[in-house]
Amino acid sequence: MAGLAETRRVRVEDVEPGLTGFGADPAFAIGQRALLGGGVLWDCIPLLDDESAGAIEAAGGLHTIAISHPHYYASMVAWAERFDARVLLHEADRQHVMRPSDRIELWSGDRYPLDDERELIRLGGHFDGGTVCLWRAGAGGRGALLSGDIVQVVADRDWVSFMYSYPNLIPLPAREVARIRDVLATLEFDRVYGAWWDAVVRRDARAKALRSADRYLAALAR
């Protein structure tokens, strides 16, 4: 992290009222950004510097770090120690934890309420414990889904997709996509925030996600 700080800073930017993004600038590795709201940090980035830490403290700090899947585990313990926070991970991905810590709490099952506004939901797919966060107050009260790349926002922002392995282009089987679709159909959200700054479906996101799953299933059937 000290080496990264020599050539990079943390970009801090409000993405909507009550939600602030953090990302390394210039981008590092796959270039994901994290999201902070209500004292909960969603996903994590490799770099934490004094400027971004100060911005978080000025906003009231953070008490919980929740991560969608193991690709964003790298610096989670360092962030947790800096802010005296806990890290919530799904137990199905425990084998991917490379830096054990007493700050890590494993949760089980399919849903984990964080507070009155936020709930973790296990979707699986990309990883067995692949998780999204439903923020009911997001998008002006219409609901926002913080999805990492468990629900992947693609280049055409009217669509999303689902994969087992993105770098190796290995798809998910139809039964898994159908299961994910069934879970998404039970949720109310109008916006999806993916893992990158511009990976956002701003309106009608639930309908677009369900339509995307149907398209995926139809393609496999052909």
- Give the pLDDT confidence of 146-184 residue by residue, as tens digits: 999 999 999 999 999 999 999 999 999 999 999 999 999
Confirm whether 124 is domain-assigned.
Answer: yes
The answer to whether the CB of 136 falls within 8 A of the CB of 109 is no
pLDDT score of 98: 96
Confirm whether 80 is domain-assigned.
Answer: yes
Confirm whether 8 is domain-assigned.
Answer: yes
pLDDT score of 84: 97
Confirm whether 20 is domain-assigned.
Answer: yes
Task: Using a pLDDT cut of 70, give the percent of the chain over it.
Answer: 100
pLDDT score of 60: 87
Q: What is the CATH number of the domain that holds 149?
A: 3.60.15.10
The structure tokens 């992947």 sit at 152
Q: DSSP class of residue 72?
A: G
The answer to whether the CB of 76 falls within 8 A of the CB of 86 is no
How far, in Å, CA of 37 to CA of 61, rounded?
A: 10
Confirm whether 108 is domain-assigned.
Answer: no
Domain that holds residue 25: 2-103+115-221
Kindly state the average pLDDT of the residues 94-105. 97
Confirm whether 87 is domain-assigned.
Answer: yes
Kindly state the average pLDDT of the residues 86-93. 98
pLDDT score of 59: 82
Reply yes or no on whether the pLDDT at 58 is more than 90. Answer: no
Distance (Å) of CA 58 to CA 25, 39, 51, 54, 142: 21, 11, 11, 6, 27
pLDDT score of 79: 96
Q: If pLDDT is split at 50, 70 and 90, which confidence band does 29 have?
A: very high
pLDDT score of 152: 97
Structure token digits, residue 90:
């799904």
- The residues near 130 (Cβ < 8 Å, ≥ 6 apart) are 68, 69, 90, 122, 123, 124, 148, 150
Confirm whether 110 is domain-assigned.
Answer: no
Number of domains in the chain: 1
Structure token digits, residue 157:
């922002």
Distance (Å) of CA 18 to CA 27, 87, 97, 137, 190: 24, 21, 30, 9, 16
Q: DSSP class of residue 117?
A: S
Confirm whether 109 is domain-assigned.
Answer: no
176-193 pLDDT, tens digit per residue, is: 999 999 999 999 999 999
